[in-house]
Amino acid sequence: MMHETKGNTMVEIDRVTLAPGQSVDFGPGGKHLMVFGLSPDLVAGKSTLIRFKLSNGDTIAAPLKIEPAGAAADPMPGMKM
């Protein structure tokens, strides 16, 4: 699931629209992914590929470093969890 932090809440987003050549950052305190039902083969310290399906049907892949939950000192500043 994709979310965006707005103030002290997270709002689910269903898409991110980009113009050709434009980029977007995902990270704590902004847009971020929440992943559920992971394979037990995915362990902290390793990496895997994450795939994104584009609106035109194409798929792109990028490397994803696997970190344990709560690895950042303050993963979502200002959030009340």
**Residue 52 lies in domain:** 2-65
Q: Does 6 map to a domain? A: yes
Q: What is the pTM of this model?
A: 0.63
Q: Does 78 map to a domain? A: no
Which helix (H) or strand (E) covers residue 63, if one does?
strand 59-65
Residue 79 clears pLDDT 90, i.e. is over it: no
pLDDT in tens, 4-52: 998 889 999 998 998 889 999 988 889 988 888 888 889 888 999 989 8
Local confidence band at 77 (pLDDT 50, 70, 90 cut-offs): low
Q: Does 57 map to a domain? A: yes
- What's the structural domain count of the chain? 1
Q: Does 81 map to a domain? A: no
For Cα atoms 76, 26, 13, give the angle at the middle one, nearest 5 degrees. Answer: 85
